[in-house]
Amino acid sequence: MREFNVEKQTKALIDYTREWFNKFGDNSRAIIGISGGKDSSVTAAVLVKALGADRVRGIIMPNGNMSDLDDAKLLAEHLGIPSEVVPITDYYNAAIATFEKASTFKVTEDLRINLAPRLRMSTLYAVAQGQEVTSFVVNTCNASEDYVGYSTKYGDAAGDVSLLQDLTVTEILQMGEYLGLPEQLVHKVPSDGLSGMSDEDKLGFKYAQLDEYISDPAADIPADVKASIEKKHVANLHKLQLMPAFKRI
C-alpha cells in the first residue's frame, strides 16, 4: 500500500479546506449531505476542524425509511453542527409517477437507484442558495470509489469542492480514527443505501483489494479481481473527466 502519514495528511486537508473556503469570506459556509457513513462523517469532521461547527450545515435526506438515520443524527450531535432532516420522498415518488407515464423510455432499476442521489444533490444546492451567506456544496466521494465509477453522475459525484477525492477507503478509515469519530460510523459495513446491498457485494471485490490495486497494479490479488477493477475503471472514466466539447475550427 502507498505510504500514508495520517497526522500529516489530516492536518494538510484541514489547512486546504480552511484556505479554500476563506477565499470566499471568513463566514462562507459548507453544505454537506450526511448519510451516517464513513465518507460524510470524515468530511464533516474535517470541515468542523477547518471552519468551526457554526459554518457547517448537515442535511439528512431520507427517501422513505432511512436505515442510517440514527447514525446521521449521531454524527451531527457528535460534531455539534446544525442539521436538518429534509426528506426527498414526495418528489422522488412524484418523479417516478411522472416517468411511468412516459412513452419513450422505461423506469428501469438503475433509473430508480440513481434518481435519489440526483435529487439529493439538487436539494443540497437548494439549501446552499437558501443561506444568508455564500455557501458551497461539499462532495464526499473518495479515490477508491471514483476509480471504479461507484457514484452517480450529477448526483453524489457533484459538488463545489472535493476533500476526499485523492484518499482511498483505507486512508479514510485511518483518518476517521485519527479524528476521533465514533467507531460505529467509521467501521460500519459500507452501503449505498439504495440497492439493499453492501458496497463490496455490489462491486464484486473488497475495498482492501481495490486500494491495493490502486497503489500497485502489479499487486498480488486475483487476476479476475484485477480485470473487474480495470473494466469498471475504463467504463466509468467519463465521470471523472470534463464533458467533451467540440472546438470550432
Q: Is the pLDDT of residue 191 over 80?
A: no
Q: Tell me, what's the pLDDT at 70? A: 93
Q: Tell me, what's the pLDDT at 228? A: 96
Q: Tell me, what's the pLDDT at 78? A: 97
Structural domains of the chain sorted by starting position, each given as residue range(s) with its CATH number in brackets? 6-239 (3.40.50.620)
- The CA distance from 130 to 149, in Å, is 31
The count of other CB atoms within 10 Å of the CB of residue 27 is 14
Check the CA dihedral 5-32-149-153 and report its sign. Answer: negative
Residue 230, burial from CB neighbour count under 10 angstroms (0-12, 13-18, 19+): middle
Q: Is the pLDDT of residue 118 over 70?
A: yes
Q: Among 45-49, 119-123, 234-238, 239-243, where is mean pLDDT lowest?
A: 239-243
* Range among 19-23, 64-68, 207-211 with highest mean pLDDT value: 19-23
**pLDDT tens digits, one per residue of 74-104:** 999 999 999 999 999 999 999 999 999 999 9
Q: Is the pLDDT of residue 201 over 90?
A: no
Q: Is the pLDDT of residue 1 over 70?
A: no
Q: Is the pLDDT of residue 16 over 90?
A: yes
Q: Tell me, what's the pLDDT at 176? A: 97
What are the cell numbers at 111? 433509473
Q: Tell me, what's the pLDDT at 189? A: 75
**Beta strand extents in the chain (DSSP E only):** 29-33, 56-60, 83-85, 135-139, 161-162
- Quick one: how far is CA 125 from the chain centroid? 15
**pLDDT tens digits, one per residue of 141-179:** 999 999 999 999 999 999 999 999 999 999 999 999 999
Q: Is 180 left (phi over 0), alpha (psi -120 to 50) or beta?
A: left
User: pTM for the complete prediction?
Assistant: 0.93
Share of the chain above pLDDT 70, in %: 97
CA distances from 122 to 21, 115, 182 (A): 21, 11, 29
Residue 243, burial from CB neighbour count under 10 angstroms (0-12, 13-18, 19+): exposed
